[in-house]
Structure 1
Amino acid sequence: MPHLRRLLVVPLSLLLLGLGAIAAPAWSEDITVFAAASLTNAIETAAQQYEEKTGIHVRLSLASSSTLARQIAAGAPADIYISANEKWMDWLNDQGVIQSNSRQDILANSLVLIAPANSTTPPTDITKSTKITDLIGHDERIAVGDPDHVPAGIYAKQALTTLGQWDAVNPRLARADNVRSALALVERGEAPLGIVYRTDAMISDGVKIIGTFPADSHPSITYPIALIDPQDGDAALKFLVWLLGDDAATIFADYGFDAIATTVTITPDTAAQ
């Protein structure tokens, strides 16, 4: 017989106030978070701090947003999903997988052009008159997350298209499985240039930023977060709320992310099972 399952419904502000009053032993389950590869360093630090604070272990699965979304849709046991773009969160929502009323935009980022740290390529003002292919040799390629499915690559294609450079750059791309793999190609000197998020460049001593793509050349780079079919009173909800709070915002800012103000209430959501 179908039964009703209710999501814990509390205003975000009230939950944030209550976090400090809940003893760690009351939170018995671990949390599994599927997060975009570009969040690797920041979310690892956040998970470690949260575990130290609460005693709750946060398991992380880090890969391209598209790979993670497909795994979740296929039944992978994720509690929380953080995507590097809206597209893959929308796709999961269309599959009826995420708890749609828990969805929030949590962070923002920007898109940059990078070169190896020892490169002599000068800083570049990226405009419609900039010919990016002139910055590389005849047989060289530009590293990027695969524009067919990796969010950073999708943003790169949108920016290059807006700037009138996609047709010239497309054949010269070294397509990587995720943005961190694109970063690694530049770090190792296997590609003279790469297109990554600003936050990826900031965590690497092996690359330098030589240009920033205009903000109006691509859609805003936002990271949505949502619960995946949580249980009543689930620890995952508390962790999601913590990630929207000031402590986590400080961690994300240290890694170069821009916080997005959240002034919402998680509303009732009761579903027949």
Structure 2
Amino acid sequence: MLKHSRPLAILTFVLTALWTGQPNGGAARAEEPLTILAAASLTDALTEIGAAWARAGHPAPVFSFAGTGTLARQLDAGAPADLFVSADQAWMDHAEEQGTVAADSIVEIAANALVLVGAPEAEPLAAPLTLDAVLGSLGTGRLAIAEPESVPAGRYARQAFETLGYWSALEPRLAPMDNVRVALATVARGETPLGVVYGSDAVIEPGVRVLATLPNDSHTPITYPAAVTPEAQPEAGAFLDFLTSPEAVKILESKGFLTLNGR
């Protein structure tokens, strides 16, 4: 029995350290990568911001990009995550009501515009935008749009077209998509002649051209609120702060996002 007591004591010490955080257990847990659920339109910007975070000595975050409504429902179902970044305030309000984010951590990190895109060779539409011009560019094709019932980009687009008085004429011509990036890709592949996407999407996709910008006052301001979850690792708060740092803001601007005071 005595010859086994030292290895047993060492094993007990190691297991205790892992569970209690002493002496190195807490550091090991803090080194776990953050899991971040984020709107699909943020894919390029947040991937680059995550790389900058990793270069600063942190584990590279693990991102899950999808339509905001899909992500919010995943949180409702108990999906593990450290942060949630929404493409609109409505889904962040939902998460706050469900208790899946820490209400006192919510912060807006960027803004965006809504644009009509077509093929690179398509002619821009004259301002002010008219329904006849949109229908003329559509021809016999369909208008790619993020799903307007649950995806923020689609909801913004519906608001804009309702405000402009175009919705009833355009609704039968829609091609709803799971998220705004799918709508963007559909236009870039030539499967639809037109699509409604964010200005930031058009910046990163050479296969489309901005034909018109939908008036800012035709839809709710497009902002991106972010928050940590109640079960988040301590490092999640630091990453949330990093999202509003000068380095992160510069990356967001380079990807076509607007600063909050530049809407």
TM-score range, shorter chain: 0.7 to 0.9
Name the TM-score, length of structure 2 as normaliser: 0.85
Distance 2:89 2:73 in 1: 15
Distance 1:212 1:122 in 2: 10
State the match for 2:160 in structure 1: 159
Of 122, 130, 150, the match for 2:124: 122
Q: Match of 1:170, SS? A: helix
Paired residues of 2:82 and 2:236 also in contact (CA < 8 A): yes
Q: Does 1:239 align with 2:239?
A: yes
Q: Aligned partner of 1:146: which letter? A: E
State the match for 1:257 in structure 2: 257
Deviation at 1:126, TM superposition (A): 4.2
Consecutive unaligned residues of structure 2, counting only runs of 5 or more, are 1-26
Deviation at 1:158, TM superposition (A): 0.1
Of 67, 82, 85, the match for 2:85: 82
Q: Match of 1:252, SS? A: helix
Q: Aligned partner of 1:133: which letter? A: L
Paired residues of 1:127 and 1:163 also in contact (CA < 8 A): no
Distance 1:48 1:151 in 2: 26
Distance 2:131 2:254 in 1: 34
Q: How does 1:138-177 map to 2 (within 5 A)?
A: 138=140, 140-177=141-178
Deviation at 1:105, TM superposition (A): 1.2
Of 71, 76, 89, the match for 1:73: 76
Of 36, 48, 60, the match for 2:39: 36
Q: How does 1:212-223 map to 2 (within 5 A)?
A: 212-223=213-224
User: Is the radius of gyration larger for structure 1 or structure 2?
Assistant: 2
State the match for 1:136 in structure 2: 138
Deviation at 1:35, TM superposition (A): 0.4
Distance 1:63 1:41 in 2: 13
Distance 1:126 1:203 in 2: 25
State the match for 1:185 in structure 2: 186
State the match for 1:91 in structure 2: 94
Stretches of 4+ aligned residues off by more than 4 angstroms: 24-27, 128-131
Of 58, 62, 65, the match for 1:62: 65
Deviation at 1:127, TM superposition (A): 3.6
Size of the aligned set, in residue pairs, is 235
Paired residues of 2:120 and 2:208 also in contact (CA < 8 A): yes
State the match for 1:205 in structure 2: 206
- Structure 1 residues 21-52: Cα deviation after superposition (integer angstroms, max 9, x where no partner): xxx98942210110000000000000011011
Paired residues of 2:124 and 2:212 also in contact (CA < 8 A): no
Higher helix share: 2
Paired residues of 2:40 and 2:67 also in contact (CA < 8 A): yes
State the match for 2:248 in structure 1: 248
Higher strand share: 1
Q: Match of 2:80, SS? A: coil
Paired residues of 1:37 and 1:64 also in contact (CA < 8 A): yes
Q: Match of 2:223, SS? A: strand
Paired residues of 2:45 and 2:255 also in contact (CA < 8 A): yes
Q: Answer 1 or 2: higher relative contact order, Cα 8 Å, separation at least 6.
A: 1
- Structure 1 residues 63-103: Cα deviation after superposition (integer angstroms, max 9, x where no partner): 00000000011111110000000111111111111100000
Q: Aligned partner of 1:110: which letter? A: A
Distance 2:145 2:131 in 1: 21
- RMSD over equivalenced CA pairs, Å: 1.7
Deviation at 1:183, TM superposition (A): 0.3
Distance 1:243 1:163 in 2: 34
State the match for 2:18 in structure 1: none
- Structure 1 residues 221-259: Cα deviation after superposition (integer angstroms, max 9, x where no partner): 00000011145x701111001111111111101101112
Q: Aligned partner of 1:240: which letter? A: L
Q: Aligned partner of 2:95: which letter? A: L
Q: Match of 2:102, SS? A: strand
